[in-house]
Chains A and B, each alone.
Chain A
């Protein structure tokens, strides 16, 4: 299970490299360079140094006592990825890909972004490493996340609003790929999730697995055993795979990915790729996909711009089919309620994405006993979402 992908970039039937021929050599080169550098002690040291001294790792595994009491019996821990520099787990991957870009001699980087977290992380790393940075962002998302757009500009990045298709994350991804096809010789594409063509799903997972590696070490230190359940939100799936991967072989640990049900999985407005999707090829790989019977990709909907994506990582698709990870949907309203709950019990404003995982804990709490230990991956902080929550609730906080 942990040996995948195979040499063709496949996780079972999922993954692969479905891209225009123009990009094939760039992807092969990226894979070779990644493989070479991932065994280079200097490369590993540089990343480890930046994660510690620049981003502030390791992030705490915090026992949320008041939340635990409020919900019932189990002990609930929060993996505080929200305390990273730039406010989310996205920086783990952006630092590593930025360092890789620089070592490969590419002076220009591009990225796609939905909520803006990956865009901000990439813009930050580009500023730190002296790289030129362009970020593609759906026009709709630039409106929902104006603060992040401004942050990226302050950091020196150029933000390119994407006006094709549904003007959200999937279209930003398409446009980033189109730009890369045109500028592949001098540009490094910093892809933000465990999606896209091989080697990205593998590489991004390996750059994010630090979340799960730390969690494992921390829970063993505090509790002397592994947790019963781990919850993580999932759009493309990078924080979730980063958290889950080091636990895949521990069969006693239940792993639950929480996806966005928007207004409900039985409406036309959701991003529940695992609950409602079918196998398809999208943005370079085979995975579960929201699509119609003719293979046209459908638009996703979620209050959380980071989960608003009709695809999902190929490795998650595989983990669903072999039933190692369970994937469940949470609606906009359930996520908002959980966000409010965490604010009031713990004084933590989580990102809307992360609030989906908290909501699943609320749902499951009555089934847990006092011996149970639960970990929620709090993938990001909610400062970026305050405006859109105000708009959604009309400014009412009760």
Chain B
């Protein structure tokens, strides 16, 4: 059974919502990413999204753009990101990993090699924000054959597309909270509740919400109506502001602890 399915099944029995943190791999370096994954697990994360840094991240706001630039400076590639999942697993992580990547790095890896690496590195799901269903037929069938979930996104502007996207989803449906790119925000799409209800109505799998969710209060609000909540930019911003502390040996633990505490208070 896919680890994502196991996680949602077990959370459902406990009437809990999955907390799904995102981080950009290699921000500021791979060693820190591995340490931060460990902290996220201690803080109560249920699934982790590993972001692949990309030169032209057009679904991302400034916070994740900056993280991407830092990681690219450390020469992090899509392959590094997948190997990071394996290293974290070898260090004892039990969490499912989702690779969040734009399509071009996948394409340049070659689909055969890409799926070999996905399996070898125990990655359970894929999110490709610039690959709408119309363009994803081949990768979807390969993911299905490999037992890996290609997590689809639905947006408040998806309207009549919601039915077909949600009903064919595996893993979970990623609901975009607002019109816009990733990044913390205080206002969500005005019809957000009815949008989520519509997705739920068509989906046979759990639904998660993401884009802009940044506080414990917002996590609590959406936990009532969703099976999972993704927090990205707010965590990446925590990492960013702790980089000077993480870089010094004597203060590194303190920096890691601050990230853990931030995520723990999101979990509530």
Binding site for B on A (CB under 8 A): 8, 16-26, 164-165, 170, 174, 177-178, 181-185, 279-284, 289, 291, 293-298
Contact = CB atoms under 8 A, between A and B. Distances in A.
B180 interface: yes
Given A22-B157, A24-B158, A295-B78, A184 B108 contact: no
16 contacts: A17-B132, A18-B103, A18-B131, A20-B153, A21-B152, A22-B179, A22-B180, A25-B159, A174-B56, A178-B58, A184-B157, A291-B108, A294-B79, A295-B104, A295-B106, A297-B55
A188 to B, nearest CB: 15
B242 interface: no
B78 A181 contact: no
B44 interface: no
Given A21-B132, A294-B105, 18 more contacts: A16-B135, A17-B134, A20-B59, A20-B130, A21-B153, A21-B161, A21-B165, A22-B157, A174-B58, A182-B181, A185-B157, A289-B104, A291-B104, A294-B79, A294-B109, A295-B78, A295-B105, A297-B56
Most A CB contacts (10 A, CB to CB) among B58, B59, B79, B132 go to B58
A283 B78 CA distance: 19
A23 B59 CA distance: 11
Interface of B: 54-56, 58-59, 61-62, 65, 72, 77-79, 103-109, 129-132, 134-135, 152-159, 161, 165, 176, 179-181
Nearest to A23: B157
A296 B157 contact: no
Contact of A22 (B106, B108, B155): B155
B158 A18 contact: no
Given A17-B134, A25-B158, A164 B103 contact: no
A21 B154 CA distance: 6
Nearest to B155: A22
Contacts of B56: 165, 170, 174, 282-283, 297
Contact of B180 (A182, A282, A284): A182
A174 B241 CA distance: 26
Nearest to A284: B130
B58 A294 contact: no
